[in-house]
């Protein structure tokens, strides 16, 4: 009969949870990277828009074009603010995901240490039983 850890199923669940947390962390990192790239592309687009309209302003424009420009400028500012807010939110979620992974990792390590201790106790018990068995064999032969 071999060693059987009594919390093996719990350890298995904790390992699965740890793997799940790793996947969630990777997803958040990817999401943050994608949002930052989207923001950088947006800023390039915004700068190009501003440069084009500055050239138009130098040559003179009508009030309706100026109003359209101001409306677009307000939209660009709001959109940039929205993207920055999303990046901040994802960054906060990333911190939480890292903490969750850290907790899951600690739980797995605790159970693995407990498993190691139980395995060592099992080995010591097996050695003790073996020594007792040898002593009984020797005393049986001696009494014979």
Which residues form the domain of 17?
8-109
State the helix-helix crossing angle for 8-59 and 63-143, rounded to 10 degrees: 160
- The pLDDT value recorded for residue 144 is 64
Structure-derived torsion over alpha carbons of residues 72, 77, 78, 80, reported in degrees to the nearest 10: 120
Arithmetic mean of pLDDT, 7-33: 95
- Please check whether residue 37 lies inside any domain of the structure: yes
- Please check whether residue 87 lies inside any domain of the structure: yes
- Please check whether residue 118 lies inside any domain of the structure: no
Per-residue pLDDT tens over the stretch 42-60:
999 999 998 988 888 788 7
- Please check whether residue 123 lies inside any domain of the structure: no
Residue 142's pLDDT band (cuts 50, 70, 90): confident
Per-residue pLDDT tens over the stretch 67-87:
888 899 999 999 999 999 999
Domain count for the chain, please give it: 1
- The pLDDT value recorded for residue 55 is 84
Q: For residue 133, is pLDDT > 70?
A: yes
- Please check whether residue 103 lies inside any domain of the structure: yes
């Amino acid at each position: 009969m071999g060693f059987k850890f009594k919390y093996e199923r719990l350890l298995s669940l904790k390992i699965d949870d740890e793997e799940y947390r790793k996947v969630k962390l990777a997803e958040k990192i990817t999401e943050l990277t994608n949002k930052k790239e989207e923001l950088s592309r947006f800023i390039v687009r915004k700068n190009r828009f501003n440069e084009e309209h500055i050239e138009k302003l130098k040559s003179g424009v009508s009030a309706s074009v100026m109003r359209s420009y101001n409306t677009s400028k307000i939209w660009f500012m709001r959109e940039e603010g929205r993207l920055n807010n999303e990046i901040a939110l994802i960054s906060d979620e990333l911190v939480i995901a890292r903490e969750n992974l850290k907790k899951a990792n600690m739980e797995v390590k605790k159970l693995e240490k407990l498993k190691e201790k139980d395995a060592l106790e099992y080995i010591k018990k097996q050695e003790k039983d073996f020594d007792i068995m040898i002593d009984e064999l020797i005393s049986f032969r001696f009494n014979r």
